[in-house]
Structure 1
Amino acid sequence: MGDSSVTESSKSSGGGGGGGGGSEASRIGDVKQWLAHEFGQAGKEVPQFEYTPRSVAYLHNLATLSQAKTQASKILASDFRLKAAEYRSQSARIREILEHVGLAQEGLPSNVVGSVQVLANVANLLNIRDTELSSFLVAMGDISLRKTGVEEKRAKVQKESKVLLDYTRKAIARLTYLKRTLAQLEDDIAPCEAQMENWKTNLAVMAAKERQYLQQCANYKAMLNRVGYTPEI
């Protein structure tokens, strides 16, 4: 089912190019071989699915990447095995030398063995490959420089933290002042509203009085006009 669909698709899209069909068939073969190998290692059968150009391209890229990573892992594993063999050989040679000079671990006092182990642990901690005094001094100097750098950074951070703490305290004090002012203003709202209502009432009364006085003035003018009184007299 899968091979025929891919073949028909490649024929219809290739337009008669024999090289494209051969390349597609080769890619399908590589994909099938890779799937059979991977599922075979897991003790499972390859599931049935349709080999479309898109799935073949995706699986072929995945297979290529997987094979490249597998090859790289094999190279690394081989290198690690070679190094392990070299380390074992070197360890055996050093052990033999120590035994010849009477410094085998089994023949050393427990305090000497403990001191050597401490020395080795310190060397590993300092990331040095030998136990020469110069190597320890260089490593200790490097640690001292790092310690100085860390202390300088810590002092800088503490200074910045102090400045931020001062700003925070000032901000809290300002916030407290603003809250107190807001509370005072809220307390003054009721008296101010009462006073404003009183002013509104007075304004209404004064406006009514104004209209009354204007009406009376108009009435007086009309009365004077009827009796023939004018301002020029």
Structure 2
Amino acid sequence: MSDLISTMDPSIVVDGKNSSFDTAHIAEVKAWLVSQFEAVGKDVPDFEYTPRSVAHLHSLATVSQAKTQAAGIVAADLRQKAVEYRSQAARIKEILENVGLAQENLSTNAVASVQVLANVANLLNIRDTEISSYLVAMGDISLRKTGVEEKRAKVQKESRVLLDYTRKAIARLTYLKRTLAHLEDDAANCEAQMIHWKTNLAIMLQKEQQYIQQYYNYKALLNRVGYTSDISHGVLVEMAEHREELEKKTKPILDTLRSYQDLPPDKALAALAIEEKRRQYAAAEKYLEDVLHSALATTE
């Protein structure tokens, strides 16, 4: 398959135009693909090289090679450190054996204590078991613990504030729900009252139209009888009083005229009496007209 890749034509048609690939990039991509697939014991699959695929694969190859190189450097450093640690361990072991502190010569409790010290050193991420190293590590942990406690206190304070807000919000929500339920209960009564008011309003509108029509009818009637706005209530009262006075004055004349009906028929006397009473009645009517005209003139 690697032979197939090496014999593929690096020049293909893209969008109807000949596009020449960067041969250096193609070679790097081929070499990287071969190395990656051979590492897992597989052949490189057949595919078509395009500008897009070559660019993408070249980017992947560059990143992969950079990471592989970095990993190699780290691995070499770790191997070097491992060699140094093994060498140092061998020297320390030799020194301990020379002073009679070999592991087989120590008690079980001593071995357990040393193991605890080693485990604690690993947990504290220190390179040795010096007291100063432990103190520095413990101080760092104490500082971290203090920082964590401060953050925890701050978070607890914020949590209490949020809890208080939440309780108030729940109480407010409960109050709003209760108010909503109360308003919903009152809605039916209010709706019935609104219907009653609408009915009364319709009746009042009808009455209004009726009263307006009556007003225009009365106004037309007053216009027909000659009533004007100049005639006030006081004028009407005064005219009524004058009418009563005239009635009092004309009543004796009418009574006298009625008494003549019982007399024997004397045409000459009757004509004279009737003519006299007519003059008196005409004088009374003229007096009434004069009084009315004077009252109207006074009002104007």
Q: For 1:107-139, what per-residue CA distance to the aligned partner results, in whole angstroms no more than 9, with x for missing partners?
A: 111011011111221222222222222222232
SS at 2:227's partner residue?
A: coil
1:26 Cα shift?
4.0
Q: How does 1:124-139 map to 2 (within 5 A)?
A: 124-139=122-137
Identity over aligned pairs, percent: 70
Deviates more, 1:108-117 or 1:56-65: 56-65
CA distance in structure 2 between the partners assigned to 1:29 and 1:216 by the alignment? 112
Deviates more, 1:189-198 or 1:67-76: 67-76
1:215 aligns with 2:213: yes
SS at 1:32's partner residue?
A: helix
Contact in 1 for aligned 2:12/2:50 (Cα 8 Å): no
Match of residue 6 from structure 1: 11
Deviates more, 1:111-120 or 1:126-135: 126-135
Match of residue 17 from structure 1: none
Match of residue 101 from structure 1: 99
Highest CA radius of gyration, 1 or 2? Answer: 2
Q: How does 1:14-33 map to 2 (within 5 A)?
A: 24-33=22-31
Task: Give the structure-2-normalised TM-score.
Answer: 0.63
SS at 1:49's partner residue?
A: coil
Contact in 1 for aligned 2:29/2:54 (Cα 8 Å): yes
Q: How many equivalent residue pairs?
A: 223
Q: 2:112 aligns with which of 103, 114, 138?
A: 114
Task: Give the structure-1-normalised TM-score.
Answer: 0.79
Match of residue 79 from structure 2: 81
What residue ranges of structure 2 are gaps of 5+ in the alignment?
232-300
Contact in 2 for aligned 1:31/1:60 (Cα 8 Å): yes
The amino acid of 1:204's aligned partner reads A
SS at 2:45's partner residue?
A: coil
Contact in 2 for aligned 1:6/1:53 (Cα 8 Å): no
1:211 Cα shift?
1.9
Q: How does 1:137-156 map to 2 (within 5 A)?
A: 137-156=135-154
1:200 Cα shift?
1.8
Match of residue 18 from structure 1: none
1:230 aligns with 2:235: no
1:71 Cα shift?
3.0
1:64 aligns with 2:62: yes
Q: 1:176 aligns with which of 163, 171, 174?
A: 174
